[in-house]
Amino acid sequence: MKVAVGTDHAGFPIKQSVIEAVEELGHEVIDVGTFTDAQSVDYPDFAYKVGKTILDGLAERGIIICGSGVGACIAANKMDGIYAAICHDTYSAHQGVEHDGMNVLCLGGRIVGPSLVYEIVQSFLNAQVEEAERHQKRRSKIKGIESGTYKGE
């Protein structure tokens, strides 16, 4: 699987741990930057680059890192077809894919240390979307909200 990885300056300290985890798990990294933490850069730029890489079909999933993961998550979720969540634990990292169709993992570089990164990334990348009817129904409602066609129940 191809995985787009992007980070701002605040997430940069764990970026190499994320890249190493992706590669150790047998996946290919598409690194969209930033390439240094020497200067402040804006997380929406890298959330967009990761999302665009997925939407263009160049990657199946993405990982975005900022200081807390919150800003990157908000920015990524503004893109149609990108389903991003902050996961600082292994359960959320796989459950978000399985039940909710999450395709972007957001991490807080100031929250998660390098020792936990591998386990979270592994949980995210090993998960597959479950096709159970209840999950499909819920994902369909999310897509309706996204497209503006959802009428509520």
Of 17, 25, 34, whose CA–CA distance to 1 is shortest? 25
The dihedral of CA 120, 126, 128, 134: what is its sign?
Answer: negative
Catalytic residue among 9, 66, 73, 94: 66
Q: Is 66 a catalytic residue?
A: yes
Catalytic residue among 27, 88, 99, 135: 99
CA 148 – CA 153 distance, rounded (Å): 14
Q: What is the dihedral of CA 65, 66, 70, 73, to 10 degrees?
A: -40
CA angle 117, 119, 125 (to 5 degrees): 95
Q: Is 9 a catalytic residue?
A: no
CA 89 – CA 86 distance, rounded (Å): 9
The dihedral of CA 136, 138, 144, 145: what is its sign?
Answer: negative
Enzyme catalytic residues: 66, 99
